Structure 1
Amino acid sequence: MTDAVTSRIAPLEELGSYGKYEAGPFAPGYGVTLGNALRRVLLGSLEGAAITAVQITGVQQEFSSLPGVREDVVQILLNMKKIRLRSFATGRVELTLNKKGAGSITAGDITPNGQVEIVNPEQVLMTLDSDKASIEAFLVVERGVGYVSADRLEVEPDGEARPRGVMAVDAIFTPVRKVNFTVENTRVGQDVDREKLILEIETDGTITPEEAVRKAAAILVGQFAAFSGLGEAPAPAPAAAAGGNLLDLSIEDLDLPMRAYNALKRAGIVKVGQLLSALDGGEAELLKLRNFGQKSLTEVREKLVERGFDVPESTLPLDAAFDEEDDEDDSDEEVKA
């Protein structure tokens, strides 16, 4: 059992995107334990924003070149990957780049968008080498965690392949570039076996090192909270009747699978209240939605029940549980036709 010694963290140095902090004192062995945990969360579990796809007018695939542009498309995409952004949107956002005339084009030339802030506008993207040269590009920005390769981004969130000419880009969502820690001995009174943790963090500028530490610590506290409740009865799910404002919750808050979410959103069902009304009116109408089959219906019902909502009983006969994939394939064919 360890002694009850109060541990604290204090900044040693903070300069822009760099921060150095000292935490302690800790019992022997705790410095490495906490340092490793924080490092892993800082590098792999913090949410950020990144460009996930690019479409350049006149370009069908990345192994191409553009007239009047010094760099080839591969180099342009590599440069665009270096753009660091803050996204204030919950979903994807499309940015536009439209430039004409000789000169260097930077991230600052991207058309301003109130939902996205570019923190390194000086990042060079390409160079136009004549006054007649021009470029038009569309950049998709999404939120995510960690690193996602372009191969995994070749498919849209709803499961469909990206349109021809839309090039997926390796997405580096993590806002933390480097993390390093060291453990040193420290003294508390007559006890010389205590440890202190020296933590160094470098971010990409989209968040401060202090924010990164706080978010990482909150994630760890949340994960360990599950163990502190071992043996206790689980807390009851919040009842939907506890307040009418719950019906105004966005369906995004249900954490639905992307296919079901997109199908509902396309149909204009964006609030939980609308979804419950649709279920009350009969599931047969919901099953007519594109890419929304029996599997999606079951997933939606389960998510609503998990959140404590009173879900209307199913009005479908048992033999209505048809195969969703067949239904979605037929729907896709009709749309393509």
Structure 2
Amino acid sequence: MLWKGFQRPKRVEIDTESLTPTYGKFSAQPFERGFATTVGNALRRCLLSSIEGAAATAVQIEGVLHEFSSIPGVKEDVTDVVLNLKQIPIRLHSDEPRIMTLDVSGPKDVKAGDLGGDPQIEICDPELHLATVNEEGRLRMQVQVQRGRGYVTADKNVDESLGIGWVPLDSVHSPVKRVNYRVETARVGRMTDYEKLTMEVWTNGTITPEEAVSLASTLLKEHLSIFIAAEDAARGIEATGASEASEADVLLARNLEEFDLSVRTANCLKNASIQTLRDLVSRSEKDILEIKNFGKKSLEELQELLGRLGLAFGMDVQGGADLGA
């Protein structure tokens, strides 16, 4: 049997004494030599890059046209205010972009908790400093918040539906701030050539370290499952029913999440229940543009993707498609 004589970790131990909502220490043993490093590195990369979170993606400040302006009556300039906005740990209970608002007069030390206007947005550090308004000053602004993964550049956060005066921001969506892991020698009976994996995870408080590790592990498991299915197919076991599908059908069945689409485009398609390439190409460009908050830039992004794959909008794919046509 495949696992005969092969040591695997039995459970994950959590250091409850040091556990906080933003820090967790986890350990597992025994691993066969080399496996602790393999698992630790994969989990670390997944934790830092692939866990979804919310962040500020655009801002509109009254009287300000660009990011390098000053704000009358406010100590900080726009750049400083934007940097402070990016530090706010946000929990968004919606798949769609939402708007926070702020309208304060001085003198006042403006904090993240002063932002409001949407019950779907939860600020996890309301005491975070945003700006200092003097006696004669007034600060009015709106902030767009949306979900995403990793680092997103400002040009991908452009939202044409917001109108004039909005400044797109580069955004860091990952709720995981830092991950360390180390590998030590572990003993099983008299044998000492096994390994122990210890991981430390720091988050921004929007998710707990336990949740982050669980999500990263699930994501890795789902990616590896296709190789298990491939082995089953080689043994003559029908794992997914796709072994007899044509090359075109396999391509059209691919989920759009596999492609590097901008956060806004991905969210619009998800809200319209367009999940696969088949769903996408079966619609016309007119149908796509009628999706709420979907703009011309997002359409051009999809046209480029389909052209690269040899596909187009408005294809008849009900009975399969011939990509060579």
Q: Into which bin does the TM-score normalised by the smaller protein fall?
A: 0.7 to 0.9
Residue 242 (structure 1) aligns with: none
Alignment of 1:296-335 (within 5 A): none
Partner of 2:251: none
> How far did residue 4 of structure 1 move?
3.4
Q: Which residue identity does 1:11 align to in structure 2?
A: I
Q: What aligned pairs does 1:1-337 form with structure 2 within 5 A after superposition?
A: 3-7=5-9, 8-12=11-15, 13-130=18-135, 132-153=136-157, 155-156=158-159, 163-231=163-231, 232=233, 233=238, 235-236=240-241, 270=272, 286=287
How far apart are 1:150 and its partner, in Å? Answer: 2.4
Q: Which amino acid aligns with 1:137?
A: M
For 2:14, give the aligned amino acid: P
Q: Distance in 2 between matches of 1:173 and 1:70?
A: 28
Matched residue type, 1:46: I
> Residue 320 of structure 1 aligns with which residue?
none
Distance 1:124 1:263 in 2: 33
CA contact (8 A) 2:52 2:149 kept: yes
Report which stretch shifted further, 287-296 or 84-93.
287-296
User: Does the residue aligned with 2:19 lie in a helix, a strand or coil?
Assistant: strand
Q: Secondary structure at the match of 2:71?
A: coil
- For residue 4 of structure 1, what is the amino acid of its counterpart? F
Aligned to 1:335: none
Gaps in structure 1 of 5+ consecutive residues: 238-252, 273-278, 314-337
How large is the Cα RMSD of the aligned pairs? 3.7
Contact 2:6-2:32 at 8 Å conserved across structures: no
Shift of the alpha carbon at 1:260?
8.1
Taking the aligned partners of 1:183 and 1:264, their CA distance within structure 2 comes to 42
Distance 1:16 1:287 in 2: 41
Other structure's SS at 1:210 match:
helix
Q: 1:215 to 1:99 in 2, by over 3 A?
A: same
Check 1:145–1:285 CA distance in 2 against 1; reply closer, same or farther (3 A cut): closer
- Post-superposition Cα deviations, 1:160-217, rounded to whole Å, max 9, x if no partner, equal 5974421122201001011001111111112111110010010000000000110010
Q: How many pairs are equivalent? A: 280
Would you say the 8 A contact 2:22–2:203 is kept in 1?
A: yes
Once residues 96 and 288 of structure 1 are traced to their aligned partners in structure 2, the CA distance between those partners, rounded to angstroms, is: 28
Instruction: Report the Cα distance in structure 1 between the residues aligned to 2:269 and 2:216, rounded to whole angstroms.
Output: 33
Question: 1:70 touches 1:128 (CA, 8 Å); kept in 2?
Answer: yes
> Residue 301 and residue 135 in structure 1: after superposition, are their counterparts in 2 closer, same or farther (change >3 A)?
same
In the TM superposition, residue 152 of structure 1 has moved relative to its aligned partner by 3.8
Report if the CA contact (8 A) 2:36-2:195 is conserved. yes
Do the aligned partners of 2:229 and 2:240 also contact (CA within 8 Å) in 1?
Answer: no
SS in 2 for 1:51: strand
CA shift in 2, pair 1:31/1:72, >3 Å: same
Q: Please tell me whether Structure 1 or Structure 2 has the larger radius of gyration of its CA atoms.
A: 1
Superposition TM-score, scaled by structure 1 size: 0.71
> For the residues of structure 2 that align with 1:206 and 1:261, how far apart are their CA atoms?
22
- 1:118-148 CA distance string (max 9 Å, x none): 1011111101111x32111110111111111
Taking a change above 3 Å as real, the CA distance of residues 56 and 23 of structure 1, as seen in their structure-2 partners, is same
Cα drift, residue 16 of structure 1:
2.5
CA distance in 2, matches of 1:264, 1:29: 41
Gaps of 5+ in 2: 243-254, 275-280
Q: Percent identity?
A: 37
8 Å contact 1:301–1:311 — kept in the other structure? no
CA offset digits 1:276-333 (Å, max 9, x no partner): xxx99x969749958579969x76667x96xxxx5899xxxxxxxxxxxxxxxxxxxx
Listed one character per residue, the Cα deviations across residues 47-94 of structure 1 (whole Å, up to 9, x for unaligned) are 111001111011001111111111111111111110110111111111
Relative to structure 1, the CA distance from residue 6 to residue 48 in structure 2 (aligned partners, 3 Å threshold; closer, same or farther) is same
Q: What secondary structure is seen at the aligned counterpart in 2 of 1:229?
A: helix
* 1:283–1:226 CA distance, 2 compared to 1 (3 A): closer
Structure 2 length-normalised TM:
0.74
* Code of the aligned partner of 2:195: E
Judged with a 3 Å threshold, the aligned counterparts in structure 2 of structure 1 residues 220 and 100 are, in CA distance, closer, same or farther, namely same
Contact preservation (8 Å) 2:95, 2:267: no
